[in-house]
Structure 1
Amino acid sequence: MSRNMLNGAQVIVDYLIQEKVPQVFGLCGHGNIQFIDALYERSQEIKTISVHHESVAGFMADVYYRVSGKPTATFTSCGPGSANLPISLANAFLDSVPFMAITGNVPTSQFNRGAFQEMYRHYQADFPSTVRTMCKKVFQPTRGEMVPLAVRQAWKTMITGRPGPVVVDVPFDVFMETAAEEAPRATEWNANISSRCGADPDGVEKAVDMLLSAERPVMLVGQGVRYGGAADELRKLAERLQIPVAASASGLGALDVNHPLALGLVARAGHYQANHAARQADVLLALGVRFDDRTSSSWIPGYSFTIPPTKLIHVDIDPEEIGRNYPVALGLMADVRTFLRQVHAELDRRDNLFKKSDARKKWLAQIDGYRKEWDKFVAPGFSDDTTPINPQRAAAEIDKALPEDAIIVSDIGVHHNWLLGFCKPKRPDSLIGSMGFGPMGFGVAGVMGAKFAAPDRPCVSVCGDGAFFMHANVLGTAVEYNLPVVWVVWNNYAYASIRGLQRGYLGGRELATDFKHPETGERYNPDFAAMARSCGVEGVRVNRAGDLGEAIRKGIAANRPYLIDVDIAADVNPAGAGVWELPGLGQSKAGIGTRFQPG
């Protein structure tokens, strides 16, 4: 290689540095050692974080973006190394989270020869086929000179339009081949591209007309508001027009849940005031929402929504989501923040914004009544002092113990539903969870990505015992990089959310969903606190609800990796105002209220 030329690996690393990527997360293998060597050369400018399982790298990159708003990258080797990554790729893809996955592959001279770790039986070096459905696009440069084009196009694809992960799959020799005299200049290629497109001006006028004429309007917010940076514009519009705001699980926290116009969660286990208002709305403005089955009570009318007769205004950056599950009175492809700014500008030009003020006051008074009914319904759980700990009480104690700037990264399981119901996120990134793909381990590993993104904020993972045991290797990573994160292990000795389905839909025929000692039949799990201590992490056990808050405060104050193993009751499931259907098995029952029948 001539002195002034960069090889493929050096081009990629230089481009990441230009894009101000502070660190990459990954795991070594023979297929990416030349890429790691390029990172070594620039180690003063970009950090390398080594993990103990490739999916952990992906989850860390995912949550890093959700907190910082800035994409990063992962690196994995060929064969099983990169094959461990798709679970976190798919998670990011379905939740519209960008990161660049740099995967190694076998040398091009060995394509289709069945070299060690080559996927070749259908097509040569065919890792791209493995992940094509799990990312926005796969790039596979097969010559060094193709790398500059691949890396700059991959970055643009990742961040424009509806964001999502991309894969740059690089054969071993291409990392080493001469590629270019310099990497593409990020400031020229991508810095000046904006995909924050606005809505059709006529559509904005129509949307404003519909909102001003509505008597029972509701705004429904999703991830497009939280990660689109539109929280301030949302709050101002809600206050300006006195429109209550409900949230999908992905949107909870976009408006401080303590705000008087915040309704809380619309979902199968949603808050009564949120579900009951949304299903009675005459106009529903949906902002960056997918209307998935959990939000929509399996699309059964009258539980979450009643569309029609509710007139739906659906705004989304991705036109594929508009009209996917509900007919629209008005569908607008737009960036949510840009759209809300357009609405404010249109309102500035209008007179008589309060022609429906009496109807709005009546509507908000009705909703206050629904809120009181919900508060009465859930009140007993807040004072339950039984052991194992009542899960509602546990969620409330966790919420009370955390400072306002704390970040909860929830894993997947029944605990996630309890957190959504009874934690009160005040900021868009106060409560982070996986909403589309739902892989166990997301919160166990992702909390470390949150800490890299926000080193001065408390970062807490609330994770089930099943998920933590799957990814306990994170303890070593936290110690190696001195990450003061707290894991609260929601230990109910079961895959309790699935056991609940067996009980609810299959007549209690339980199998493979709880953890028992083979000799005694008693509840069994490893001693997670002792496991943590064996790794150099402080570990404690909590058996009483009254001790949980103090344990969390101590864990945060310790300023070192900390694990709290909490004994949680497994036989209580969250009840809400919606339902969920498993086709062929039936649907659940609403815990409060009845199905709304319009007319």
Structure 2
Amino acid sequence: MKDLVANQLVKYLEKRGVKHIFGLCGHTNIAFLAALSKSTKIRFINVRHEQIASHAADGYARVTKKAAVVLSHLGPGLTNAATGVANAALDSIPLVVIAGDVPSHYFGKHPHQEVNMHADASQWEIYRPFVKRAWRVDRPDLFPEIMEKAFVLAESGRPGPVLVDVPMDIFSQEIDAALFERLDYNVKVMQKPSINDELATRIVKILAEAKNPLIYAGGGIMLADAAQQLREFVDHMGIPVAHTLMGKGILPDDHPLTLGMTGFWGTKYINEKCQGADWVLGLGTRFAEADCSSWYPEYAFNFPPAKLIHIDIDPGEIGRNYPVEIGAVADIKQALTVFNRVAKKLYPEAKQNEALNQEIALYKKEFKASNKSLEESNTFPMSPQRILADVREVLPRDAIITTDVGWNKNGVGQQFPIYEPGSILTPGGYATMGFGSPAALGAKIAAPDKVVVSLIGDGGFGQNPAVLATAAIEHIPAIFVIMNNYAFGTIAGLEKAHYDTTFGAVFEKDGQPYSPDYAAIARAYGVEGIKIRSAEEFKPALKMAIEANKPCVIDVSMLNNPVPTAGHWNIMDIYSPGKHVHHVSTN
């Protein structure tokens, strides 16, 4: 049976279980959209900017743990989406980007919006630095096989985005439906590598006999859906857990063995526990710069004399930043499953370290007390600590938080308790401003029964305010809390500390602080908008927004005080050598 490629593509996606596609129309992809309009199984989430589509798909994929689909137009559509796709790449989030391209019979003739400065019809090469692979579909009969490979590659090994670039005429050509139907016999989920009992026994014995063992948990544990297996291992072996920014929430922050986030925005206690470890089991982590204080041994990890066991699905990450005593390429869930079996066989009774538990509990109590005055302050503009404390008090334990950059990322990583694995979505490796609000759309679509709140700065929200159009039209009841300090606040504090100016980093009009009325903007989009006038108004407003179950913007003025830093970042040595200056308040 012959059928249009566009029709068969929709059927293929339905069979794969795709329920949502995020994207924006263009003349190169409307044949596919026309076919999609007939689907009763796939909902198209229409956006006003392709970066919104890629960030929303990213948030959706983090919650579903499956590849999300982005639909893009050629040229500017594809480059608009690129930031979100690159963000997904650096955080190992699986996306399948389907992009229209110029007609194949006009390659090299400069048809409308063709990219061919160095090769004809070469727009797909724009994505080569950050996608796992980019395909251009040169023949319709190859399209089915390419789509199958795209999903498998996106979700296998270290997950990540892929690009399928489709000349627009390919969508409208006929193809033998059997070419797609034969893919039904293909396995859709690949078996993942593990470790053997011999290696697991060796590692478990080392950790059991170590004087100060430590588990360092990264976002790879979340990607592997292995939080339950990690907790089982920690509870049985009694080993404390420090984590990366992306690893936050893997163990609940109120678990007795959770230390917290390390590095530049980590605390002195947590960083010192890492320095004092004799054996470290690194799981699903890149040992990235901010998490490791630019790898300075006096601030974070000290390898050697400490020894590292590093397990990751990506062999390229093992030994990249620190020397490794034992390295293993494995899926973290599979590896932890073996660890648990071996540990319970070697040590039937769970190991207890009440002294360590009490030490960690005392640290947490003292850290909480050190922020008490700021968390309870009635100052307006509000202290960031008060905003975070009020949000945590109001939200259910399993609410999903999306962050952006600045206080809402670094301060949340340091001070905001997360209790359920996967309930915080953060732009880690790329640290993309503008991620938080569209990611909340994707998260809410993926988990409609969960409360979803985007904590985002005014700089970040200003990147993509058109998320509100999608929230309104698609009835997506996400809540956007704008922590509004009238600035690119983190950069302003950094510039002020080192150069005694905030030039280019604060928002002013005629010498006075300036901000749009984001609550009024929300109402103009048909979304509830609340402008907070005092600290006492904030918590009731957030409660009301949650109960209303509608999209809502809460615009709250915030002091631009820096996130406390106990670690180090090499950029400080570039700005002010030998002075150990970090950020300062600009208020």
Aligned to 1:594: none
Q: In the alignment, does 2:475 pair up with 1:477?
A: no
Does the C-alpha gap of structure 1 residues 402 and 366 become closer, same or farther in structure 2, counting only changes over 3 Å?
closer
Secondary structure of 2:338's match?
A: helix
Q: In the alignment, does 2:86 pair up with 1:87?
A: no
Matched residues in 1 for 2:137 and 2:579: separation?
50
Aligned to 1:555: 545
Post-superposition CA distance 1:58-102 (Å, at most 9, x none): 111111011122222111111111121110110000000001100
Structure 1 residue 538 displacement after superposition: 0.9
Of residues 32, 55, 60 in structure 1, which corresponds to 2:29?
A: 32
Of residues 567, 584, 589 in structure 1, which corresponds to 2:557?
A: 567
Matched residues in 2 for 1:272 and 1:373: separation?
12
Of residues 45, 50, 53 in structure 2, which corresponds to 1:49?
A: 45
Secondary structure of 1:428's match?
A: coil
Of residues 525, 544, 551 in structure 2, which corresponds to 1:535?
A: 525
Contact 1:27–1:75 (CA<8 Å) still a contact in 2? Answer: yes
Aligned-pair Cα RMSD in Å: 1.9
Aligned to 1:105: 101
Structure 1 residue 11 displacement after superposition: 2.9
Aligned to 1:234: 230
Matched residues in 1 for 2:360 and 2:123: separation?
53
How do 1:429-578 and structure 2 match up within 5 A? 429-504=422-497, 506-518=498-510, 521-570=511-560, 572-578=561-567
Matched residues in 1 for 2:579 and 2:338: separation?
41
Does the C-alpha gap of structure 1 residues 140 and 377 become closer, same or farther in structure 2, counting only changes over 3 Å?
same
Aligned to 2:392: 399
Contact 2:256–2:360 (CA<8 Å) still a contact in 1? Answer: no
Q: Which stretches in structure 1 are left out of the alignment for 5+ residues?
A: 592-599
Matched residues in 1 for 2:581 and 2:331: separation?
34
Name the aligned partner's letter for residue 24 of structure 1: I
Contact 2:402–2:453 (CA<8 Å) still a contact in 1? Answer: yes
Does the C-alpha gap of structure 1 residues 391 and 37 become closer, same or farther in structure 2, counting only changes over 3 Å?
same
Q: Which stretches in structure 2 are left out of the alignment for 5+ residues?
A: 583-587
Of residues 308, 331, 336 in structure 2, which corresponds to 1:335?
A: 331
How do 1:186-201 and structure 2 match up within 5 A? 187-194=184-191, 196-201=192-197
Contact 2:257–2:360 (CA<8 Å) still a contact in 1? Answer: no
Q: In the alignment, does 2:571 pair up with 1:579?
A: no
How do 1:356-371 and structure 2 match up within 5 A? 360-371=353-364
Matched residues in 2 for 1:261 and 1:186: separation?
47
Matched residues in 2 for 1:264 and 1:110: separation?
56
Contact 2:487–2:506 (CA<8 Å) still a contact in 1? Answer: yes
Does the C-alpha gap of structure 1 residues 555 and 95 become closer, same or farther in structure 2, counting only changes over 3 Å?
same
Deviates more, 1:319-328 or 1:387-396: 387-396
Structure 1 residue 175 displacement after superposition: 1.1
Deviates more, 1:545-554 or 1:484-493: 545-554
Contact 2:197–2:342 (CA<8 Å) still a contact in 1? Answer: no
Contact 1:579–1:587 (CA<8 Å) still a contact in 2? Answer: no
Matched residues in 2 for 1:414 and 1:351: separation?
43
Contact 1:389–1:543 (CA<8 Å) still a contact in 2? Answer: no
How do 1:193-342 and structure 2 match up within 5 A? 193-194=190-191, 196-342=192-338
Structure 1 residue 476 displacement after superposition: 0.9
Matched residues in 1 for 2:53 and 2:325: separation?
42
Structure 1 residue 10 displacement after superposition: 2.5
Name the aligned partner's letter for residue 374 of structure 2: G
Structure 1 residue 385 displacement after superposition: 2.2
Structure 1 residue 224 displacement after superposition: 1.2
Structure 1 residue 278 displacement after superposition: 1.5
Aligned to 1:158: 154
Of residues 407, 412, 419 in structure 1, which corresponds to 2:412?
A: 419
Contact 1:52–1:473 (CA<8 Å) still a contact in 2? Answer: yes
Name the aligned partner's letter for residue 223 of structure 1: G
Matched residues in 2 for 1:184 and 1:133: separation?
33
Structure 1 residue 34 displacement after superposition: 1.0
Contact 1:24–1:72 (CA<8 Å) still a contact in 2? Answer: yes
Deviates more, 1:205-214 or 1:99-108: 205-214
Secondary structure of 2:165's match?
A: strand
Post-superposition CA distance 1:236-294 (Å, at most 9, x none): 11111111111111011011111111112112111343222112111111110111111
Secondary structure of 2:129's match?
A: helix
Post-superposition CA distance 1:311-360 (Å, at most 9, x none): 11111100111101011111111111111111112123314777x86xx4
Structure 1 residue 8 displacement after superposition: 2.4
Contact 1:252–1:425 (CA<8 Å) still a contact in 2? Answer: yes
Contact 2:399–2:452 (CA<8 Å) still a contact in 1? Answer: yes
Matched residues in 2 for 1:31 and 1:549: separation?
47
Contact 1:276–1:577 (CA<8 Å) still a contact in 2? Answer: no
Q: In the alignment, does 2:400 pair up with 1:410?
A: no
| Count of paired positions | 579
Does the C-alpha gap of structure 1 residues 311 and 352 become closer, same or farther in structure 2, counting only changes over 3 Å?
farther
Secondary structure of 1:125's match?
A: coil
Does the C-alpha gap of structure 1 residues 89 and 287 become closer, same or farther in structure 2, counting only changes over 3 Å?
same
Compute the TM-score of the two structures, normalised by the length of structure 2.
0.95
Compute the TM-score of the two structures, normalised by the length of structure 1.
0.93
Structure 1 residue 376 displacement after superposition: 4.2
Of residues 2, 8, 11 in structure 2, which corresponds to 1:11?
A: 8
Post-superposition CA distance 1:482-539 (Å, at most 9, x none): 11111001100000111111122x3313211001112xx2210111111111111111
Matched residues in 1 for 2:501 and 2:199: separation?
53
Structure 1 residue 383 displacement after superposition: 2.5
Matched residues in 2 for 1:578 and 1:68: separation?
34
Deviates more, 1:251-260 or 1:382-391: 382-391
Name the aligned partner's letter for residue 529 of structure 2: G
Does the C-alpha gap of structure 1 residues 192 and 465 become closer, same or farther in structure 2, counting only changes over 3 Å?
closer
Matched residues in 2 for 1:66 and 1:351: separation?
35
Secondary structure of 1:297's match?
A: helix
Matched residues in 1 for 2:244 and 2:509: separation?
39
Deviates more, 1:299-308 or 1:557-566: 299-308
Does the C-alpha gap of structure 1 residues 545 and 429 become closer, same or farther in structure 2, counting only changes over 3 Å?
farther
Matched residues in 1 for 2:45 and 2:264: separation?
39
Contact 1:15–1:185 (CA<8 Å) still a contact in 2? Answer: no
Aligned to 1:597: none
